[in-house]
Structure 1
């Protein structure tokens, strides 16, 4: 499996910031960056404003055959204005193509002017690693 195919799957990333803080996030991999939503419900924007360094890991484990795939990277994150089409692409990966069927806790923030995106830029191009045993 190649990196783009792996990152196109609806997986959960864990993001570590200074503090330390670790948060699970639904993400979108586009333009060499990871993107996720943030808003007043999260402290992530404040944490990253104080120190934009972060690390991210996405991994899978298939217990049936022992396959372990992982992407780990370090870089910097910045809060940017909401790009609604990008946010919709991200949510569609996880919730399906019809926003009318999404729970309000996912669709309502798209109409909130306080909702933003976080753009995580890896310091080096990510690599998909096979850590299978």
Structure 2
């Protein structure tokens, strides 16, 4: 069920055996992501439950889900980029069917993120699912 963009990330993670290299790759994914307009970094788009500042702005076109995201932490920007690869372009009614935990486990993130980052990642996934449900 994963998108080609997510599969590419999974393939890269498989190739990179060292976790420092994987973290660097996550940060690079975040750097490559377009920034979210500061005018959209408002309480309505803020994700609660993250230790870092995180904003997610949905974009729904032709009943397909997409979003922009931003964080003040580079590793979290990278996690947003990974979630974007996982969810962007899906029909809004398919977003909640994605087993994000299983897909992210393929990357080993479940074992290599701090408890705080893992909680924040779950909060971002919850927010994405809620935004898609609201749009559906």
Larger Rg: 1
Q: Which has the higher contact order (CA 8 A, sep 6+)?
A: 1
Tell me which protein shows more strand as a share of its residues.
1
Q: TM-score, normalised by structure 2?
A: 0.29
Q: TM-score, normalised by structure 1?
A: 0.29
